[in-house]
Amino acid sequence: MSEEKDIGTSVVEKKAETEEKDAKTSSVEKGAFIFIDFVARVKDTNEIVDLTLEDVAKKEKIYREDGTYQPRFIVVGEGWMIEGVDEGLVGFTEGEEKKLEIPPEKAFGQRVAEKSKTIPIREFRKQGIRPRTGMIINYKGIPATITSVSGGRIRLDLNHPLAGKTLIYDVTVKEILRTEEEKLKALVSRRIPVNLEEIEVENVERGIEIYLPEETFLMEGLQFAKKGIARDIQRFIIEKPVFFIEKYEKED
């Protein structure tokens, strides 16, 4: 009897090991929910332009106290990364690291000479800005580079600062999300900056119920974030009503 039990337990354990191995070796497809780490550099200069790794930021002396250094969550193919990375991630396995070379056409496009504009310097002074050559500003929602300051006029380059650049991405797929609960929590944390462990989600008969930690209740822009989360859940996971529930624990 004991031997039969041991044999049965062994079969279950082997099945679990096989399923875990299959999960680890399954590859990224379009629409996959994944977390990635990456360091992005300009190919010609080796300048780092984006990254998720705190240790690299400190080593390269570009660490910022207000920076976010953690794996980035994306849904592959949804344009949450530049096109070349989005396409290049397909076929990765969990834990795999690769170097992706992204040409301008799949990154921020080629430079267009016509994308320039001259405006009076007083427009900056009204906003308390002291313009200088090389400064990157936000001009009507578009990043623009000041190329010259002369004679009371400012010359702006409205091309993206990385237009015309080939980029190198060192990318690692940290995790491929597979369960509904994992995916729901990731969509919530994308818009509300809390740890995944602090989020509770339940798929019940009436819809999706989401419990957020109490410290988020007065967060600026919370209602807009909730609307975005509901839209994401209904688009990517399930077309059900989404309920955000405030739960207050009794204080000691």
Q: What is the pLDDT of residues 7-59, one digit of tens each?
A: 655 655 554 454 455 555 589 999 999 999 999 999 999 999 999 999 999 99
The bridge status of strand 116-120 relative to strand 48-51 is: unpaired
Predicted local distance difference test score (pLDDT) of residue 18: 46
Q: What is the pLDDT of residues 224-235, one digit of tens each?
A: 999 999 999 999
Predicted local distance difference test score (pLDDT) of residue 27: 94
Nearest Cα neighbor of 208 from 177, 244, 246 is 244
Cα–Cα distance list, 29 to 88, 98, 168, 171, 172 (Å)? 10, 16, 21, 16, 15
Cα–Cα distance list, 178 to 24, 35, 211 (Å)? 11, 12, 21
Q: What's this model's pTM, rounded to 2 decimal places?
A: 0.81
The residue to which tokens 């679990």 are assigned: 16
Q: What is the pLDDT of residues 111-135, one digit of tens each?
A: 998 888 999 998 888 888 888 999 9
Q: Which domains does the chain have, with CATH numbers?
A: 31-109+164-177 (3.10.50.40), 116-157 (2.40.10.330), 179-252 (3.30.70.2210)
Integer Cα distance of 16 and 19 in angstroms: 5
% of the chain with per-residue pLDDT over 70: 90
Query: Using alpha carbons only, how large is the chain's radius of gyration in Å?
Result: 24
Decide if 210 contacts 247 (C-beta within 8 A).
no
